[in-house]
Amino acid sequence: MGQQSSIALRLVGRTEDIGGFTVRRLIPVAARRSVGSFVFLDHMGPAVLEAGQGLDVLPHPHIGLATVTYLFEGSILHRDSLGSVQEIYPGDVNLMTAGRGIVHSERSSAESRRTRRRLNGLQLWVALPKEHEEMAPTFSHTAKSDLPELSGDGWTGRLITGSLFGATSPVRTLSPYFFADLRCETGACIQFAPDYEEAAIYVAEGEIEIDGERVEAGSFAVLESNPAVTVTACKESVIALLGGDPLPERRHMYWNFVSTTRERIEQAKEDWQAQRFPRVPGEESFVPLPG
């Protein structure tokens, strides 16, 4: 009998358009709604934006979740209904906690549109614990210089949230979850045994093996529970490690809304249609509720 696979599920995602920009959406899918408290993962790019072009995601609402935005290349200008204005660069992290409701836009800045450049990064959503679903919204930005650096034989990385490889991120989270960005040289070998119940590995670039099984670029490998695996880089690779402890209650999702109850989502839909959410200062347009 062959060795049991350490990979519970492989996902390659589907393409979606966000403000004229294509992303690869890995979760949620019918086969897997979440990993830990992560309920959403988009890989933005990699894409080349010509001079004069840019990302333009119009103001849109969120409830019941926190967005985690992290870039490999390029920049994005974040604006929200709290009045936050923050451009994010590679290695930084933006954490926006929606709570009972927030609205934000994501655009390329006027400065960045002046030149040809690449945009490449990840956005993840974390479902908030039930007791925090209706908290006041918040926004925080943490520069890459304040995030712990990780390293081993043939690999380096950055810990964005949570605890991993003996390090702990200063980014404050409301539930136990982790997220890390690793750069691996060909042949690098990593023992990955996070102290969390659920974990997954996304191959942003390159190719790896997980306990001898090949995982190619663009693939999201959800591991078996309480994983302890060996990750080997078959070529130069960029990988994201993420996961955490699952939340005890089921989450309902519609568009940009996450909640433990369908009734709360229906209320959010009504509120957005009636434009009862707060506005982003300086922004007049917005994304309508999907029909």
Which residue is associated with the tokens 């209904």?
A: 81
Provide the pLDDT for residue 2.
54
User: Quick one: 31 exposed, middle or buried, by C-beta within 10 A (0-12, 13-18, 19+)?
Assistant: exposed
Q: Is the bond preceding residue 248 a cis peptide, omega within 30 degrees? A: no
Provide the pLDDT for residue 19.
65
pLDDT tens-digit profile, the chain (291 residues): 457 899 999 999 888 877 667 889 999 999 999 999 999 999 998 999 999 999 999 999 999 999 999 999 999 999 999 999 999 999 999 999 999 999 999 999 999 999 999 999 999 999 999 999 999 999 999 999 999 999 999 999 999 999 999 999 999 999 999 999 999 999 999 999 999 999 999 999 999 999 999 999 999 999 999 999 999 999 999 999 999 999 999 999 999 999 999 999 999 999 999 999 999 999 999 999 998
pTM for the model: 0.95
CB 184, CB 261: distance < 8 Å = no
- CB burial readout 188-204, b (16+ within 10 A) else e: bebebebebebbbbbbb
